[in-house]
């Protein structure tokens, strides 16, 4: 499993490494989901597919908030 270290910027944002952007095929405007395991020590990150966006409750205006995805 590949691991990447990122530094938190002064404005509390992070810059994703180019390898992550390429691997997830991220483009400007794409949304990603970050899932934390129960201990909060591991993060799983993936690109949000178009159909999942429709399944998320109130996807607009929820950036940075916890959302539930209906499967």
Residue 7 lies in a domain: no
Alpha helices in 9-49 (DSSP H): 18-23
13 lies in some domain:
no
Question: Is 28 domain-assigned?
Answer: yes
Please state, in angstroms and rounded to a whole number, the distance separating the CA atoms of residues 23 and 65: 24
In a domain, 11, yes or no: no
Beta strands 32-36 and 43-47, pairing class: antiparallel
The answer to whether position 5 is within a domain reads no
Domain with 24 in it: 18-68
Q: Number of folded domains in the chain?
A: 1
Q: Which of 27, 29, 22 is nearest to 4 (CA)?
A: 22
Structure-model confidence comparison of residues 18 and 31, the more confident one: 18
Report yes or no on 53 lying in a domain.
Answer: yes
Assess if residue 9 is contained within a domain: no
Q: What is the per-residue pLDDT across 20-69, written as a single tens digit (0 to 9) for each?
A: 888 888 888 777 777 766 665 666 666 666 555 555 555 556 666 665 65
63 in a domain, yes or no? yes
Q: Do 37 and 45 contact (CB within 8 A), yes or no?
A: no
Tell me how far CA of residue 5 lies from CA of 10, 20, 63, in angstroms. Answer: 16, 11, 22
């Amino acid at each position: 499993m590949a691991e990447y270290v990122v530094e938190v910027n002064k404005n509390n944002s992070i810059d994703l490494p180019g390898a992550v952007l390429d691997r997830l095929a991220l483009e400007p405007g794409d949304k990603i989901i970050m899932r934390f395991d129960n201990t909060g020590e591991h993060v799983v990150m993936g690109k949000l597919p178009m159909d999942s966006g429709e399944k998320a409750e109130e996807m607009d205006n929820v950036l940075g908030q916890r959302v539930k995805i209906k499967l």
